[in-house]
């Protein structure tokens, strides 16, 4: 098994989800640093300081929702190369269209852990 030197920022309001997905990613992807936060403003600060290799964002954050946060990252030349995965509570045509408009690479159900892991591996090139 290869040890990775990658950082993933996960932004979600559910601390139990953050703990569970962070633990799972660390178990499966040795050497991956998981940075967690529950607020869009805090996420922007962490991106600026930590320079993650991948950002996973819940769609319904309080201060800055996931779509706006994705747009802020993807339309900033300093961060536009960081892949963004949006996690949605419900996926429909509107959320799919909006995720494309804001530049997110993926829109995944936040309840589909297998798909989340698959896309993490894809974007970290594992």
**In terms of Cα–Cα distance, which of 123, 112, 105, 72 is closest to 89?**
112
Contact by Cβ (8 Å): 64, 41: yes
Strands 6-11 and 32-37: parallel
Position 96 pLDDT exceeds 90: yes
Domains of the chain by range and CATH? 6-123 (3.40.50.2300)
User: Computed from CA positions of residues 19, 108, 90, 80, in that sequence, does the dihedral angle turn out positive or negative?
Assistant: positive
pTM of the predicted model as reported, rounded to 2 decimal places = 0.93
Position 4 pLDDT exceeds 90: no
56-82 pLDDT, tens digit each: 999 988 778 999 999 999 999 999 999
Contact by Cβ (8 Å): 49, 74: no
């Amino acid at each position: 098994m290869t040890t990775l030197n990658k950082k993933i920022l996960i932004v979600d309001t559910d601390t139990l989800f953050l703990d569970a997905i962070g633990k799972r990613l660390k178990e499966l992807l040795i050497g991956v640093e998981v940075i967690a936060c529950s607020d869009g403003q805090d996420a922007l600060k962490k991106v600026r300081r930590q320079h993650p290799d991948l950002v996973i964002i819940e769609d319904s954050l309080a201060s800055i929702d996931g779509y706006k946060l994705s747009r802020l990252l993807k339309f900033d030349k300093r961060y536009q190369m960081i892949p963004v995965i949006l996690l949605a509570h419900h996926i429909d045509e509107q959320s799919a269209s909006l995720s494309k408009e804001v530049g997110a690479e993926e829109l995944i159900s936040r309840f589909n852990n297998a798909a989340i892991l698959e896309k993490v591996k894809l974007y970290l090139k594992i």
